[in-house]
Structure 1
Amino acid sequence: MHVDYRYKQTSKLTQLLQALEVNRRLIDLLPSLPHIERHLRRQSILKSALFSARIEGIGTASPHDASKLEVKNILSASNWLHSASGPRRLSLKVICQLHSRILSNLSPDAGGFRREASAIFNQAGVAIYFTPPPIEIKPLLGQLIRHTKRILINPIQAAVFHFGFERIHPFLDGNGRVGRLVSTLILKLDGYNFRGLIDLEEYLDANRAAYYDLLNLASKDITAFVEFFLTGLVDQSEQVINKLRGQAETTEDKLLPRRQEILNTIREHKQVSFDFIRRRFLAIPASTLRYDLRQLAKQNLIKKLGVTRGAVYSPAEYN
């Protein structure tokens, strides 16, 4: 297998790169909305988990538990990627660390390269490509990393690496999730972070047939895949702009997570007593919960009905 992939600088590719640069600058200029962005980022991760479950399977845990674990793991890996202590360069070690986080408590092979033959299957379950043998995985990944770093245009680096990584298919499970996170890392390292809100999974899910067809390219020239990948980045960055433009953070957006959960509980049940809230938050002191409720009332998000021990709380909008 070769990994020294090439691409042609087509007029379409030039237009896509220009559009992506414009979108990057627009997103950088939009006001910071940390609470809204945190919500959008979590939505993106939930979509990522759904997409991954469709094409990769879930592993050895029960489907319900695996689904929750998968979301938790992707959130952990994504948070690490974007944190101050996150990776500052691409390496084999970083790839294995991401895989370890992604499949934590889901697979005994978390963090380890596959030790058996594998293949890439299309939506119909037909093998469209047989991956290289396990003994070639480390050398091929090392070559791919070095080749990718020689490409001068960052978004094209991300596209080329993604193609090569999926073709090498270094793990038995989790290749899609790890591959997309590594592409995110490559983009982030050169300023194409898009505030961590790019949801490439949605684009790939909507174009799965084309995605698999392009992964099956046998030529060293992967211009078609690079154009496909960049089209997805442009499409999703435009969606980020549309989601952020004209938004303003509300009082509710700025709530602490526990207070948001208390508010959601009150909205769900319409009227609740303090004892009902207390049973939901047994690890939190009663005095802290009472303070939370006073603050929610002060912010006009809930109403307290009554003044004795029989008082109940309801949403401000509930009549």
Structure 2
Amino acid sequence: MGNYVPPFKITAKSITLIAEISAQLERYAIRMEQSDSLRLRKANRIKTIQGSLAIEGNTLSEEQITAILEGKHVIAPLREVQEVRNAIDTYDRFTNWDPYSEKDLLAAHGCMMKGLIDEVGQFRHGGVGVIAGTEVIHLAPPADRVPFLVNDLLSWLKQSEDHPLVKSSVFHYEFEFIHPFADGNGRMGRLWQTLILSTWKPVFAHVPIENLVYAHQAEYYQAIGDSTEKTDAGIFVEFLLGAILEALQAQHAVTPEVSHEVTPEVERLIKVFKKGEELTRKELQERLGLKDEKNFRQKYLLPALAGGYVDMTVPDKPNSRLQKYKKSNP
């Protein structure tokens, strides 16, 4: 174990894409350091969750996911709501996981699939295949081989000197080929690639690659199929690099508008919080020097909550007497 090297060839187009992505990353990283990036980060997290789950058949919109994130009641199939809640929880814990750790991979699966399947946080115990209509397009390796294959893949990932954009994409393909879990392999593969990339460049935690993969869903599965048929993950790498570049380019198209949505009142509210503080409505009003509760709620608190700048400590009960507010974690 530890000597496995996935089969892949890097095309000239992939090399060009890596250069273009690197240039875009510098611009995007600067943009994300600016003061108006908080709302954009939250919006991108919602796009990421919506895109990744939609690939798996979840029908909830970005608006519905936003409502769930804010603790509001949403009329939708219970399983789909559970999938969204799990994904929100999983991405909230995102920075705690080591991309090379099998233990963390299993913990993340347990978080992502909680309440959805029996075999959560553990490798599958039976055979699985990928089916398109009535045709089996991929029969995954036997269950008893999964722990060894995943161990080899994680060892290669840690030791590989390939460019992070390349090895994260190769990992994604190999992970889908192994299909280590009874369910949730697609969303976990996409999550783990983003984790690998954000370990290299933290800004990737806020790039909604999954949303672009969803927009090109047919090509995503085609690239997986072609890579399997030709025993060359390089085909899938080229597809994903194109999706990453497109995601970054899309961000440059929308970011200039974000700053116009931050009102002076919301900016004032954000600035009264000290690091890690949780404050009551009354405490916030006092710090702002505001006596009119209605004015405070309409011009300060509600826009800040809606924009993702401030979070409730008891989101499931907006009117709780124990309710406090804290600055959002981007």
Structure ID, larger Rg = 1
Which residue of structure 2 aligns with residue 137 of structure 1? Answer: 146
Q: Tell me, yes or no, if the aligned pair for 1:47 and 1:202 is still in contact at 8 Å.
A: yes
Correspondence for 2:41 among 26, 29, 37: 37
Which residue of structure 1 aligns with residue 54 of structure 2? Answer: 50
Deviations 1:67-114 (A, max 9, x none): 1111111011111113xxx12342111111111000112222111111
Q: Tell me, yes or no, if the aligned pair for 2:49 and 2:88 is still in contact at 8 Å.
A: yes
Q: Tell me, yes or no, if the aligned pair for 1:20 and 1:234 is still in contact at 8 Å.
A: yes
Identity, in percent, stands at: 24
Q: CA deviation at 1:39?
A: 2.9
Q: CA deviation at 1:250?
A: 1.2
Deviations 1:209-263 (A, max 9, x none): 3322322223442221110011111111111222223531513766989xxxxxx
Hey, what's the Cα distance between the residues in 2 that align with 1:298 and 1:160?
Answer: 48
Q: Tell me, yes or no, if the aligned pair for 1:47 and 1:201 is still in contact at 8 Å.
A: yes
* Matched letter for residue 108 of structure 2: L
Which residue of structure 2 aligns with residue 233 of structure 1? Answer: 244
Cα distance change, pair 43–19 in 1 and its aligned pair in 2 (3 A): same
Aligned residues: 264
Which residue of structure 2 aligns with residue 212 of structure 1? Answer: 221
Q: Tell me, yes or no, if the aligned pair for 1:24 and 1:192 is still in contact at 8 Å.
A: no
Say which SS state the counterpart of residue 104 (structure 1) adopts: coil
Cα distance change, pair 17–10 in 1 and its aligned pair in 2 (3 A): same
Q: Find out whether 1:95 has 2:105 as its counterpart.
A: yes
Q: CA deviation at 1:295?
A: 0.8
Hey, what's the Cα distance between the residues in 1 that align with 2:296 and 2:169?
Answer: 48
Which residue of structure 2 aligns with residue 69 of structure 1? Answer: 82
Cα distance change, pair 105–253 in 1 and its aligned pair in 2 (3 A): farther
Cα distance change, pair 39–117 in 1 and its aligned pair in 2 (3 A): same
Hey, what's the Cα distance between the residues in 2 that align with 1:52 and 1:291?
Answer: 47
Cα distance change, pair 158–287 in 1 and its aligned pair in 2 (3 A): closer
Q: CA deviation at 1:26?
A: 0.6
Hey, what's the Cα distance between the residues in 2 that align with 1:121 and 1:165?
Answer: 17
Say which SS state the counterpart of residue 103 (structure 2) adopts: helix
* Matched letter for residue 203 of structure 1: L
Q: CA deviation at 1:125?
A: 4.7
Cα distance change, pair 300–89 in 1 and its aligned pair in 2 (3 A): closer
Say which SS state the counterpart of residue 193 (structure 1) adopts: helix
Q: CA deviation at 1:167?
A: 0.5
Q: CA deviation at 1:4?
A: 2.7
Which residue of structure 1 aligns with residue 155 of structure 2? Answer: 146
Hey, what's the Cα distance between the residues in 1 that align with 2:215 and 2:90?
Answer: 24
Q: Tell me, yes or no, if the aligned pair for 1:16 and 1:230 is still in contact at 8 Å.
A: yes
Which residue of structure 2 aligns with residue 18 of structure 1? Answer: 19
Q: Find out whether 1:128 has 2:137 as its counterpart.
A: yes
Cα distance change, pair 135–256 in 1 and its aligned pair in 2 (3 A): farther
Q: CA deviation at 1:126?
A: 2.3
Cα distance change, pair 79–144 in 1 and its aligned pair in 2 (3 A): same
Which residue of structure 2 aligns with residue 266 of structure 1? Answer: none
Q: CA deviation at 1:193?
A: 3.1
Unmatched segments (≥5 aa) in structure 1: 56-61, 258-283, 303-319
> Please, what TM-score do these two structures have when normalized by structure 1?
0.73
Which residue of structure 1 aligns with residue 128 of structure 2? Answer: 118
Which residue of structure 1 aligns with residue 206 of structure 2? Answer: 197
Which residue of structure 1 aligns with residue 170 of structure 2? Answer: 160
Q: Tell me, yes or no, if the aligned pair for 1:121 and 1:128 is still in contact at 8 Å.
A: yes
Say which SS state the counterpart of residue 53 (structure 1) adopts: coil
Q: Tell me, yes or no, if the aligned pair for 1:203 and 1:236 is still in contact at 8 Å.
A: yes
Cα distance change, pair 286–23 in 1 and its aligned pair in 2 (3 A): closer
Hey, what's the Cα distance between the residues in 2 that align with 1:23 and 1:192?
Answer: 14
Cα distance change, pair 3–53 in 1 and its aligned pair in 2 (3 A): farther
Cα distance change, pair 221–39 in 1 and its aligned pair in 2 (3 A): closer
Q: Tell me, yes or no, if the aligned pair for 1:35 and 1:254 is still in contact at 8 Å.
A: no
**Aligned-pair Cα RMSD in Å:** 3.2
Which residue of structure 1 aligns with residue 262 of structure 2? Answer: 250
Q: Tell me, yes or no, if the aligned pair for 2:58 and 2:80 is still in contact at 8 Å.
A: no
Q: CA deviation at 1:50?
A: 2.3
Q: Tell me, yes or no, if the aligned pair for 2:7 and 2:231 is still in contact at 8 Å.
A: yes
Hey, what's the Cα distance between the residues in 2 that align with 1:287 and 1:99?
Answer: 39
